[in-house]
Structure 1
């Protein structure tokens, strides 16, 4: 299995290398003629290229959820990370620009395939249907992250250069309506995966019907549609295509675990071990950012159990403001733990627990506490002691820290629950309400006339 994923990653890298001039510029400058999809043999390389584009946005996606919130302390010299550590984010921040560029790259490649594939003759209908559905899944994911990070963003549904060079913002609600449309279409047309099927070997890499339902569970949670969030999370759990790893340490130390729903992989030949946007480099190599004292206290607590493996302590690192702690979730390819997990089964239990708690379904086999205790049992932690609805919801928030720390969720969680001002104002004297949205990258405003006076408030 490992060999297959490494091979897939290498193929993706090769495809991207052949299209560097296409994919490196901003979306408004992409040249559609350089992408090839003219015959059946082109379908698989194009498909892999779309997933490679998703992989390109994965690191900055994690940084949005973790660096913007109360998880990290700046410990190095990089300006971009210092802005996040001190909560003084600017429109010229490189991480802000990287995520924008890569999410629109993903949208662009998906749009290209959606436009071209229906015109290619000789492609088996089942293949055409599956790949078209995967492109809607990927476009939906990019738009979901984009809308929840920047707020109102351009709605790009074409590869037409004249259109994309001068495209204004669309309201966040309208972007999310497109996300729902794309994910519902993907759910309808993606391949079914049955327990025990050989197709489960690749279910962490490519989208399938169950992974679309997992995304819909997250979507409805963010929309506060508790009944739908519970329903979709239950469908994913009950499908038994994914299973919780018995030992939480394997989530930290291994790639492509059996609970991985969507994961982007890296090979020895393209391991992102160095660079400004490499999680491996930022967390482990340079230790440019280190865990904040707040997250350390939670992860090192009894309630966290074995999930304290997410971070480690080394007294040799104690120096000045360095607290000696390090994030362990992103290693190197030769250690088999350098991938980035975008969604895994544990999140489904947390989504269902929160949705059930919001509906006041607290106890019993179908209650929120039971879902939390499934994860507590895996982590060898004590059962949840909460009893009231407010206590259970507080337990859900803490459990999301224990279970999902440094997987890109925290900032989004604080915003969608209305907790961001209370938590972040206590965390940093520099926190400002404007940081509930990232700024539009300065370069995008300079390149796109329709964004000239459309910077997010406060920046």
Structure 2
């Protein structure tokens, strides 16, 4: 049994009994069941690679939705009180969980990339595919890490002595590396078989890399490239918009491009538990009003109301998007077709392409038409006929709330568009510009001497 000490905090996530570690200790990374010495080990190594990446799902949703204006805190956990009241500290357990999951994914990818060339018995085609998967998942992890924390350590190997003292690289350097990984992955990932949706959307394909690049270029304000990659996905015959109820209640739909999938044995259940079981948090009044608006249409199915829960600060609303371990909506959807329409609409609007079949209005109207399915004409979201560029960008911001609530986008959207201060200061008197980045976990600064004095401003 081999134990590899790991310089970066691998925070304990929520266990099957839905407890939370508020001040998690550093732990070692165990490679006990990820032995990679022969070609026969490749399947288990691949499973380990995706298992590491899956741990990013839950804390990313909490970063994107809990840091922003989508929740009210009701419970007793310090971590969620800090997120809900906008008083986040470097000791926050969710902050540590996301940092740990990012570096766990990077570490496992590096492990695969280092070992593969040393194993002659692995077929060239298999080595090529696994290399591409490792680079895709490492690129995605670095993308999330850079947009959450800013500059982070650039971990390129599994060498322990080096990893213990890596300083922060710039956000730009990390994102450049992420782009290199995603582009390399695109070249070598398989197309996948769309007839097997669980495998097709559960593992990285060329289209998953294209979706990641569409989002990457949107965040970088490279509007032409964002539009181009989103268009490739929209024009693909492998995907179609499904009923929004299916978006909420089903995994691996025809709309899904890539998901972090879970089994009964490895599902943490924390998002469902915090909204439904413990009611640690509830959807904020702001997001409830947005999702119940006519513009939102049937995307209000994201939420459900129970008047028996209404008391004190509890508004009675509950999230439906994440079920329990034995329900069919337990996955975290990373990329889906609905987001690609929103990416293309924003990219087009930013380029002044507003009207016509290749304009932003057409993309938003496609989503609004889907959001009107099954509704009376008087309740269907109104279709847009005309808008200025600034009006269109405001429409798209609202549309992203309707379409993507509780999928981990809101905070990242507000920060990348420069809207965080205006929106969040109106939501909470505790909001401070420093919350446009999460803090580096305090335990990491204590353990890595190269991070001393490198905390994000204001923490």
* Aligned CA distance change for structure 1 residues 248 and 23 (closer, same or farther; 3 Å): farther
SS of 1:269's equivalent in the other structure is: coil
Q: Distance in 2 between matches of 1:20 and 1:437?
A: 33
Structure 1 residue 302 corresponds to structure 2 residue 294: yes
1:20, CA displacement in angstroms?
A: 8.8
8 A contact 2:73–2:281 mirrored in 1: yes
1:352, CA displacement in angstroms?
A: 0.2
Query: What pairs up with 1:82-121 in 2 under 5 angstroms?
Result: 82-121=81-120
TM-score by length of 1: 0.91
- Which residue is equivalent to 1:441? 441
TM-score by length of 2: 0.91
- Which residue is equivalent to 2:253? 257
Q: Distance in 2 between matches of 1:316 and 1:206?
A: 41
SS of 2:297's equivalent in the other structure is: helix
8 A contact 2:197–2:253 mirrored in 1: no
- Which residue is equivalent to 1:455? 455
* Aligned CA distance change for structure 1 residues 428 and 106 (closer, same or farther; 3 Å): same
Structure 1 residue 356 corresponds to structure 2 residue 348: yes
1:347, CA displacement in angstroms?
A: 0.4
Query: Any unmatched runs of 5+ in structure 2?
Result: 11-26, 373-380
Q: Distance in 2 between matches of 1:242 and 1:218?
A: 17
- Which residue is equivalent to 2:274? 282
* Aligned CA distance change for structure 1 residues 23 and 405 (closer, same or farther; 3 Å): farther
1:35, CA displacement in angstroms?
A: 4.1
* Aligned CA distance change for structure 1 residues 289 and 23 (closer, same or farther; 3 Å): farther
Equivalent residue in structure 2 for 1:204, among 201, 204, 214? 201
1:266, CA displacement in angstroms?
A: 2.1
Q: Deviations over 1:69-97 (max 9, x none)?
A: 01000011111000011000000000000
- Which residue is equivalent to 1:183? 182
Cα RMSD (Å): 1.9
Q: Distance in 1 between matches of 2:309 and 2:225?
A: 46
Structure 1 residue 73 corresponds to structure 2 residue 72: yes
Equivalent residue in structure 1 for 2:263, among 255, 267, 271? 267
Equivalent residue in structure 2 for 1:338, among 294, 313, 330? 330
Q: When the two structures are aligned, how many residues end up with a matched partner?
A: 435
8 A contact 2:8–2:164 mirrored in 1: no
1:385, CA displacement in angstroms?
A: 4.9
Which of the pair is proportionally richer in helix?
Answer: 1
* Aligned CA distance change for structure 1 residues 32 and 313 (closer, same or farther; 3 Å): closer
8 A contact 1:329–1:337 mirrored in 2: yes
Q: Distance in 2 between matches of 1:210 and 1:262?
A: 9
SS of 2:334's equivalent in the other structure is: strand
Equivalent residue in structure 1 for 2:237, among 236, 240, 255? 240
Structure 1 residue 221 corresponds to structure 2 residue 218: yes
Q: Distance in 1 between matches of 2:2 and 2:285?
A: 43
